[in-house]
Amino acid sequence: MKTRPIVIDVTSPKGGIGKTLSPDRAKDHFLSSGRQVTMIRIESQCAFLLPQPNEIRIKTEDLAVSNDVVGGAAAMLEPVWDAISVAVETNGVVIMDWGAGQSEYRLELLASTSFGQRLNEVGVSAYSFVVTDRSIQAMRPAIDTLKSTREFSPELQCVVVTNELRGDFAFPMPMGQLDGDF
């Protein structure tokens, strides 16, 4: 079966539910299957630890003032498009790990850059993972985030990732299926 480049956009309406662990596990899965993976961390500069190999960091503080930059938010996301271009050529994987609570701003960027449409045009399998726990307080905003993602970027395949106790995650489909041709 032919593999396709993959982009996974990971978000969560709230913090403290294991949102960063989910993309890290996805990264480990793809690396173990021999895929090239680039992680893009979109986070407050306060949250950054030591940089990791094949990791791009975008500070939310820079995105917040992107209207003052020539090209706006699209210019701030240029490293994302560069990583996606490499993934297209290598059948690699790009995982975007958005900081918790950035769902609304993320939606604006998805819409203003025609994110899903651009990925679709170059043959990239694109997913939006919304990480949540099973509490009603967390599920409602997660469902709202999924609905908004479908509205702003309908080309992204939406997936709910539910956090269990001690960080076990339930994926609605086995991770191996993400390697398939969709």
β partners of residue 98:
42
Q: Specify the pTM.
A: 0.82
Tokens standing for residue 18: 């294991």
Mean pLDDT value across residues 34-44: 90
Does the residue 1 lie in any domain?
A: no
Give pLDDT, residue 87. Answer: 94
Among 87, 158, 76, CA closest to 124: 87
Among 146-150, 154-158, 173-177, the range scoring the smallest mean pLDDT is 173-177
Percent over 90 (pLDDT), the chain: 35
Number of domains in the chain: 1
Q: What range defines the domain where residue 32 resides?
A: 6-179
Does the residue 14 lie in any domain?
A: yes
Among 75, 48, 81, CA closest to 62: 75
Does the residue 57 lie in any domain?
A: yes
* CATH code assigned at 22: 3.40.50.300
Tell me the pLDDT tens digit for each residue of 102-155: 777 788 888 888 899 999 999 999 999 988 887 777 888 888 988 999 999 999
137 burial via Cβ count (<10 Å: 0-12, 13-18, 19+): exposed
Q: Which strands form 93-98's sheet, in the order they lie side by side? A: 55-59, 37-43, 93-98, 6-11, 125-132, 157-163, 169-170
Does the residue 71 lie in any domain?
A: yes
Does the residue 20 lie in any domain?
A: yes
Does the residue 95 lie in any domain?
A: yes
CA pseudo-torsion sign 27, 31, 35, 41: positive
